[in-house]
Amino acid sequence: MAYCLISDVNDKSISDIITSANWQNADIQKCIDEGSDIIDAYLIKVGYQKIDLSNAPLIKQINILLAKYNILRNIYANINPSKVEQRGFIEWRNKAIELLEKLQDGNIVLTDNDGKIVSKRDLRYTPIITTENTKRIFKIAKEYEWSEPDSTYNDEDVIGEK
């Protein structure tokens, strides 16, 4: 689930570049999805829920920054890969990652569209399946006896690897 739309990303700052590269909406959507996956990787693991993130304007702006970076990175990498680092759009990615790290560490408070604080959920999970009442087919003993067989299957009638 992306946190922004194609129309949010395809603004005046990159629309001419997208048009000249002959990119379609599907290409732009892939870059948006890549950006939202990065956001999820940072924030879902610390307790934020996707539904809460989708209502936060800061997350939308971070997704836009990451999507624009991904688009320009891909376009310029095909044209001249050695000059990608010299482009100013690298700062978009750096700013987005900086904000994500601050959110992850709790240094920034995330709010939703109404200005309410988005809180992290409790990350304690309860297992659905346990083995407490499982009857075992084989007895599991504390001591094991391992022995090597005296003969091997080196006959030509054996199928498989030798």
Q: What is the pLDDT of residues 18-30, one digit of tens each?
A: 999 999 999 999 9
d(CA 70, CA 130) in angstroms, rounded, equals: 43
* pLDDT of 130 above 70: no
Q: What is the pLDDT of residues 50-102, one digit of tens each?
A: 998 999 999 999 999 999 999 998 988 877 666 655 667 889 999 999 999 99
pLDDT at 35: 96
pLDDT at 45: 86
d(CA 89, CA 66) in angstroms, rounded, equals: 10
Average pLDDT, the chain: 83
Q: Which amino acid is at 131?
A: T
Q: Is the pTM of this model over 0.85?
A: no
pLDDT at 78: 72
Q: Dmax of the chain from CA atoms? A: 78
pLDDT at 124: 59
pLDDT bracket for residue 156 (50, 70, 90): low
- DSSP for 71-127 reads HHHHHHHHH-GGGGGGSTTHHHHHHHHHHHHHHHHTSS--B-TTSPBPPPPP-----
| DSSP code, position 51 | H
| Domain regions of the chain by residue span | 6-105
Q: Which helix (H) or strand (E) holds 139?
A: none
Q: What is the pLDDT of residues 104-128, one digit of tens each?
A: 998 999 999 999 999 888 765 555 6
